Amino acid sequence: MVTTFHYLLLGAALFTIGVIGVLTRRNIMIILMSIELMMNAVNINLIAFSNRLQQVTGQVFAIFVITVAAAEAAVGLGIVIAMFKNKETMNINEIDLMKW
């Protein structure tokens, strides 16, 4: 029997994978992809609870999360392109203009 607990475990696993990806990789594209993974984990949790509580609210919020993910991807990739024009790199360790 598949319970809500299973879905929460899956969401936790995906979220942790995303966190590890953000913290360990240097390639900015992969960091953005890891952020998408984390948003997907959150969506799984929202929809699992939407099903568990028999309310449609969780699904509405999942759609909002997808909207925010789309906006974030558009702006983030715009920043990546602007950065690549200036620095010719995707390595975040070389992007230290604002480092104190």
Partner 1 sequence: MLELILFYTFGAIAVISGILVITRHNVVHSAAFLGATLFAVAGIFLTLHAEFVAGVQVIVYVGGILVLFVFVIMLIAVERSVHERQYNKQWTIALITSAILIVEIAYGLYRGRDSLVLPAVVPPAAAAAGGNAEQVGTALYTSYLLPFEIASILLLVAIVGAVVLSKKRTPAEE
Contact (CB, 8 A) for 69 and 34? no
Site string (56-95) toward partner 1, x via CB under 8 A: xx-xx-xxx-xxxxxxxxxx-xxxxxx-x---xxxxxx--
C-alpha–C-alpha distance, residues 44 and 51, integer Å: 11
Residues 4-33 that bind partner 1 (CB under 8 A): 4-10, 12-21, 23-27, 29-30, 32-33
Q: Pick between residue 78 and residue 100 the one whose CB is nearest to partner 1.
A: 78
Within 10 angstroms of residue 25's Cβ, the number of other Cβ atoms is 14
Q: Pick between residue 1 and residue 97 the one whose CB is nearest to partner 1.
A: 1
